[in-house]
Amino acid sequence: MNNKTNQPTTTFGIAGFPLSHSLSPLIHNSIYKDKEMNASYQVFETQEFDRKIVLDLQKSGVCGLSITIPHKERAFALADEADMPSKIMKASNTLVLKKDSINAYNTDGEGAYLSILEWSPESMSRGKTLILGSGGSARGIAYSLAASGKISELILCSRNEKTGKEICSLIMENSTTKALFVGPEEIISFRDQFSLIVHTTPLGMKGQSPGPFLGEEFFDSSMTVFDIVYNPLETPLVKAARKKGAKIIPGSEMLLYQAMKQFELFTGVTPDLVDIQKTRERLSLALANR
């Protein structure tokens, strides 16, 4: 294995805008170091995102990209091949750049599903699941939860009725899960039915409008709340839910698990429990110091 020092470094990275807060380089570069892999993970901050940009990166030796806001839908559209979650939800957060093709994957949904499975598996079967928002993340998460067979009914609530209803139709067509769109003004009347609430909008994120999407009166101690925003970890929504005794899944867990899946897609190496725990500790430390 000593000849690895003579091998060129394999390059991966993240594309999106803005990226100053991204913890993805910390996650990926740390695992490469732990596993003594000759690889590096770089930041490609770009407001534009098209096939030429991807092909230029590919030519310069980049083998894989994490894709974040606002390019997930574009990433899917410009790929040559895509996995099922990407196809169904028309959004991708991972591009693997092969010699003659761009392959798209969506690990967001699986990242969210694995987080819920670890922290609160019972919340998927006790009552209905509520997803707040209808962007790229909502699409991936809704699909993975529905495809898991663990949830029987999903309600999606977002300000954009068109995309909300589109996601519900896709879920009904591609799984046995019942899906219903409910507007923000009516959602309070459904509150007693939910055991799991997943918030996928940028509300409450550092630098965004604070929200919260739902007020304190919405929550109670029988609910599990998962806000995928992790900067800050305690968003106004999480504060409101915690005050009412709801169980909280940290937003950083989705970041952790979707990155573990990306690492596997990029390198072909499956992370083990030690990798997951070490990454979780690094993330906690990095977020605590923000």
CB neighbourhood size of 158 (10 A): 24
Cα separation, 183 vs 123, whole angstroms = 23
Q: Is 101 annotated as a binding residue?
A: no
Catalytic residue (choose from 33, 72, 90, 278): 72
Is 78 known to sit in a ligand binding site?
Answer: no
108 among annotated binding-site residues: yes
Give the integer Cα–Cα distance in Å for 279 and 225.
22
263: closest CA among 116, 86, 66, 103? 66
Does 109 carry a binding-site annotation?
no
Q: Any binding-site annotation on 135? A: yes
Question: What are phi and psi for residue 121, nearest 5 degrees?
Answer: -60, -30
Active-site annotation holds for 72: yes
Residue 282 contacts residue 26 (beta carbons within 8 Å): yes
Query: Is 133 assigned a ligand-binding role in the annotation?
Result: yes
Q: Is 251 flagged in the annotation as binding?
A: yes
Please report, in angstroms and rounded to a whole number, the separation of the first and last CA atoms in the chain.
38
Residues β-bridged to residue 194: 128
Q: What is the dihedral of CA 243, 244, 246, 251, to 10 degrees?
A: -30
252: annotated binding-site residue?
Answer: no
d(CA 262, CA 109): 12
136 annotated as ligand-binding? yes
Residue 195, annotated ligand binder?
A: no
User: Is 215 within any annotated ligand binding site?
Assistant: no
For the annotated catalytic residues, the residue numbers are 72
| Sequence ranges of the binding site for NADP(+) | 133-137, 228, 251
| Sequence ranges of the binding site for shikimate | 22-24, 68, 93, 108, 230, 258
| Sequence ranges of the binding site | 22-24, 68, 93, 108, 133-137, 228, 230, 251, 258
